Structure 1
Amino acid sequence: MKEEVAANGGERLGESAWKHLIVSRDGPTVEVELHRPSARNALNAAIIKELTEVARLLRRRSDVLAVILAGGETNFSAGADLSAGEADAAVGPSKVPTLLEAREELMTGPDLCRAWEEIEAVTIAAIEGYCLGGGCAIAMACDFRIMAEGAYMRLPEIPLGMNMSWNSVPRITTLVGPSRAKRFVILGEAVDAETCVGWGMADEVTKKGEARAVSRAWAAKVSTLPPIPVRMTKEAINAQATATHLISSFADRDQFLLTSRTEDYKEGIAAFLEKRKPAFRGN
């Protein structure tokens, strides 16, 4: 039986506590569902804040053994929200942020992924449909990824004139190796569920519409195991696998600041919004 999740100090993690998330609990498993259907679960500042907060509240919950992160029935997430309205809302209609302010703002993505990576319970991303950009970054920060038939992952950042940030490139490289990481990140092409499993980027392909059900079965399997060695093993593997991640990705927000001030970036975003092919010139 599902119920709202009570957090420490009496704060509630239930559905009523969130605008863009649906959070529920079934025994030792908590499900967090992205719920911004009007924008295809695109990640704006508000939903990023909520996703970070819920991950931090769940980080050391000893009564939670598994956490499932899911999108909608037809898509996981369209990635970062690039709409003009969201861009204006981020800085205000008459305020241009300083470079320092912009640099600080760009920590929200890395902070989000780190918060999900640091949850002590086992985390599982249930992916239906497309999982783009920032959606991929969050999924890569989880322990496992279950993808339905027809689902795919894609990083559109470089074809849009920017670099892939959110400290996600080392996570991708650790999972698939350098050659496939370059192919996935640089080309910006869709990688289907079967290929993701073959590369090691996902863990199982299910029938369409069953990604969440299979994720629940994985969570149930985890919940039958002794929680202390499970958590210690997750911590040990993550410590080894991510030991050099910060060293290799600490500057990716500064790389984004650089690319976001190029003419190619302006052209990439304009072409995206105008639904046309961009003409990049290397400036």
Structure 2
Amino acid sequence: MITIEHTGAVALVTFNRGERRNALSLQAMQELTRVAESFKDDGQTSCVVLTGTDKEFSSGVDLKDPARWDINDKTLDERRSIALWGSRMCKAWEEVPQLTIAAIEGLNVGGGIALTLACDWRVMGNSAYMLVPEAQIGIPLGWHTVPRLVNLVGASRAKQIILLGQKMTSATALECGLADWLVDDGKAREHALMLAEQASKTPRAIIKMSKQSINAHANALNHLSCFMDVDQALLCNQSTEATQARSSFGKSAS
């Protein structure tokens, strides 16, 4: 599902679930979290490139994953633990000490966007697109993504992205700050690796200290504003309205 290739000071992490358009199952989130955490004690790597397949980065959280959704028989503590994995995954990638670059081809939806916003930079293929459908499936945008989104696009644009649920082209993503580079289709990984190679010429300690300093300033209030988003999601996603919305959304998307 996940492979790691090292070339000098650059690591390439490829997420390829092989099914469900790279949807984020609970198992996938757990594996991606552990991969991110493995870089904390990696003294040889300066930059990490995270990518999906040539057709999609991710179609978002797997709405057909029983491990994630069939939890009515679980205690509240167990349900919170399961629901927290998305936040843990994104936090783990945000806290990777090395510079992180997401290379995005094809679609990137919901939880996939949350994951890429936890990276430092984003490279998109020209035909790639983004979609944030959480509100349309009956839950608020979670995984501590709201403050990251607001930091990049501002409050008004964040509300539009979340509440309108409209497809965003790569050009729109670049214009509003969700993408940093646009490249020809099929070239996102190559361009991200080129950027990583260029950045890795900077002394490794300087990369890490600079990232830590910038993130400390940019993200200072993030946790305060979203520490309860998992509880909001739990409250909403078990409602009748959310169950019906997920069912309708799944039929329209299939």
TM range, smaller chain: over 0.9
| Aligned residue number for residue 233 of structure 1 | 210
Kindly provide the amino acid, as one letter, of the partner of residue 205 in structure 1. Answer: L
TM-fit CA distance, 1:229:
1.9
Kindly provide the amino acid, as one letter, of the partner of residue 253 in structure 1. Answer: V
With normalisation by structure 2, the TM-score equals: 0.96
Kindly provide the amino acid, as one letter, of the partner of residue 194 in structure 1. Answer: A
2:32 to 51, 55, 61: 51
Unpaired runs of 5+ residues, structure 2, are: none
Unpaired runs of 5+ residues, structure 1, are: 1-19, 277-283
| Aligned residue number for residue 57 of structure 2 | 76
| Aligned residue number for residue 8 of structure 1 | none
Within a 5 Å distance, the mapping from 1:24-173 to structure 2 comes to 24-83=5-64, 86-87=65-66, 89-90=67-68, 96-173=73-150
- Structure with the bigger RCO (C-alpha within 8 Å, sep 6+) is 2
- CA deviation vs aligned residue, 1:141-165 (integer Å, no higher than 9, x gap): 0000000001111111101111110
Kindly provide the amino acid, as one letter, of the partner of residue 50 in structure 1. Answer: E
TM-fit CA distance, 1:100:
2.0
Which of the two has higher C-alpha Rg? Answer: 1
CA RMSD across the alignment: 1.5
Distance 2:108 2:132 in 1: 9
With normalisation by structure 1, the TM-score equals: 0.86
Number of aligned positions between the proteins: 253
Q: Kindly, what percent of the aligned residue pairs are identical? A: 36
1:198 to 166, 171, 175: 175
| Aligned residue number for residue 220 of structure 1 | 197
1:21–1:35 CA contact under 8 A, matched in 2: yes
1:166–1:253 CA contact under 8 A, matched in 2: yes
Kindly provide the amino acid, as one letter, of the partner of residue 89 in structure 2. Answer: L
- CA deviation vs aligned residue, 1:14-49 (integer Å, no higher than 9, x gap): xxxxxx112111111111111112221110011111
- The secondary structure found in structure 1 opposite 2:19 is helix
- CA deviation vs aligned residue, 1:56-104 (integer Å, no higher than 9, x gap): 0112312101000001001100110001xx22x44779x7112221112
| Aligned residue number for residue 279 of structure 1 | none
Matched, 1:250 2:231: no
2:21–2:59 CA contact under 8 A, matched in 1: yes
1:91–1:97 CA contact under 8 A, matched in 2: no
- CA deviation vs aligned residue, 1:134-187 (integer Å, no higher than 9, x gap): 100010000000000011111111011111100011001001111111111111
